[in-house]
Amino acid sequence: MKKTLSILLILFQSTILFSQSLDSIPTDKSVVYFTRASALGALINFTYFDGEKVIGRFNGPKYMKYVCDPGKHLFWARSENKSFVDAELKAGEIYIIDVIPRMGGLKASVKITPVDKAVYNMKRIQKLLSKREPETFTKLELDELQNEMSNVIIRGMEKYNDLKNKDKEINFLKPEMTVSKEDLIFVKKKKN
């Protein structure tokens, strides 16, 4: 009985702590979680963008919570390559873009994928979100990254426009591909 009570208390406390970080979703904004749940290429930084704006950079199994205006966005990530997601976001909603590292020889590449909870295996993402706090960046850090990435942004926009002009398919984060706060919490299934 004591063991069960202790487990329930720990689960309750961790759920409360995790829920507190999720509660701050403004009704006039959208939230996009960029999750990197895989440890593959853990030392390699990926830089994240919203159009021509740098929004973060991190390595390893981590995530960031990006609060932005609803509407159309071009999200992309950069490593040895560039990966793009067009997005249409609704106000007051939560979305996930999964960041998938890929290794090939000595090069690391990145693929970002919009998450549709109806078909996507959320377990690794839920575990990541339950174990860690989101990566955060100061205005100064983002300003420095913005300056550092100025040429990368120009080439990234050229690459995106080239893909669009060649009618290459670019992943799309649809307005209805939302997740709830509860979808983000890992719940261990009981064995029968």
| pLDDT tens digits, one per residue of 127-155 | 999 999 999 999 999 999 999 999 999 99
Question: 48: domain range?
Answer: 25-180
Q: Is residue 1 part of a domain?
A: no
Q: Is residue 11 part of a domain?
A: no
Rounded Cα distance, 154 and 157, in Å: 5
8-22 confidence digits (pLDDT tens) = 333 444 443 333 344
pLDDT of residue 19: 38
Phi, psi of 81 (to 5 degrees): -130, -175
Q: Report which secondary-structure segment, H or E, holds 40.
A: none
Q: Give how many domains the chain has, as a whole number.
A: 1
38-57 confidence digits (pLDDT tens) = 888 787 899 999 999 999 99
Q: Is residue 189 part of a domain?
A: no
19-33 confidence digits (pLDDT tens) = 334 456 889 999 999
Q: Is residue 188 part of a domain?
A: no
Q: Which residues contact 136 (CB under 8 A, 6 or more apart)?
A: 64
Q: Is residue 16 part of a domain?
A: no
Q: How far is CA 178 from CA 8, 25, 31, 169, in A?
A: 29, 13, 10, 22
Q: Is residue 129 part of a domain?
A: yes
- Burial of 146: CB neighbours in 10 Å, binned 0-12, 13-18, 19+: middle
Q: Is residue 134 part of a domain?
A: yes
Q: Is residue 185 part of a domain?
A: no
